Amino acid sequence: MTPSDRLILALDHEDPKEAIHLVDRLSGRIKTFKVGSVLFTHAGPSLVREIQKRGGAVFLDLKFHDIPNTVAGAALQAARLGVQMLTLHTLGGREMMHKTAESVREAVLRERIPAPLLLGVTVLTSFDQAMLQETLSSPSSLEEMVVHLARLAHEEGMDGAVASPRELPLLRKDLPRSFRLVTPGIRLSSGNHQDQRRVADPRQAIAQGADYIVVGRPILESKNPIETVEAILREMESPG
């Protein structure tokens, strides 16, 4: 994969027109655009189609978490929309992941639609150890929980997981190389960190085993988004 195959732009806009404007400006350099729940709730599947019409691939980041039948049904609709990847919460459990992977796989064969990557979200990065224990009443450490949930995801047919830079070494040690890791929390070595606490620069994230990196504000808030994208692509290429 080339650096531009691995770079995903998070379209964290409220206004779909702004999002499409940025897709138009950057689509020569960026191939995949992440649509999250805010933009999707506003603009829906038609925005996904608009991005695809422009040649962009879509990472649909809706983090599904419900009973197995419902998540499988939602993932199936996302697959029919032709998204390249989508997320669901691994805390939905084994059966939910299993049924989702099975339903999507069957539909891919039956309907000859492209297979989306199914990505598990483990523990949200907004959680710390105390919140995890309070919420789940579990004695496991945050790191143990992340590895445990990623293993479950792998066993039940997920293609990969969303992993913060700090989790990359742990997960790369524990899971086969074919399990895709998608990493947000990326900051250019020269830039500011906004509210992300556990950050890595693009080169570090790739070196630690990220298959894809997700970047939002460093590009969205840049005075020159094209230049910032070029700088990120260069950092991804440099061996360090």
Which active-site residues does the annotation give? 63
Nearest Cα residue to 34 out of 15, 51, 21, 17? 51
3-state helix, strand, coil in the chain (%, to 5): 50, 15, 35
Compute how many other C-beta atoms are within 10 angstroms of the C-beta atom of residue 239: 6
The answer to whether 204 contacts ligand C5P (rule: CB under 6 A) is no
Q: Cβ contacts of residue 81 below 8 Å, gap of 6+?
A: 45, 48, 49, 58, 60
Map tokens 């199914």 to a residue.
Answer: 118
The answer to whether 65 contacts ligand C5P (rule: CB under 6 A) is no
x/- contact string, 106-125, with ligand C5P (CB under 6 A)?
------------------xx
Q: Do 53 and 87 form a contact (C-beta atoms < 8 A)?
A: no
Residue 232 per-residue DSSP state: H
Q: How far is CA 175 from CA 43, 55, 123, 155, 187, in A?
A: 36, 32, 17, 10, 25
The answer to whether 164 contacts ligand C5P (rule: CB under 6 A) is yes
The answer to whether 216 contacts ligand C5P (rule: CB under 6 A) is yes
Q: Do 39 and 47 form a contact (C-beta atoms < 8 A)?
A: yes
Window 28 to 47, contacts with ligand C5P (CB under 6 A): 36
The answer to whether 12 contacts ligand C5P (rule: CB under 6 A) is yes
Q: Of 29 and 98, which CB lies nearer to ligand C5P in the complex structure? A: 29
Q: Of the candidates 91, 127, 217, 222, which one interacts with ligand C5P according to CB under 6 A? A: 217
The answer to whether 183 contacts ligand C5P (rule: CB under 6 A) is no
The answer to whether 225 contacts ligand C5P (rule: CB under 6 A) is no
Measured distance CA(152)–CA(235) in Å, rounded: 33
- Minimum gap (Å) between residue 111 Cβ and ligand C5P: 29
- Minimum gap (Å) between residue 24 Cβ and ligand C5P: 20
Q: Of the candidates 92, 165, 185, 225, which one interacts with ligand C5P according to CB under 6 A? A: 185
Stretch that binds ligand C5P, among 142-150, 173-181, 216-224, 228-236 (CB under 6 A): 216-224
- Minimum gap (Å) between residue 176 Cβ and ligand C5P: 22
Measured distance CA(104)–CA(73) in Å, rounded: 9
- Minimum gap (Å) between residue 221 Cβ and ligand C5P: 8
Name the residues that contact ligand C5P, by CB under 6 A: 10, 12, 36, 124-125, 162, 164, 184-185, 194, 196, 214-218
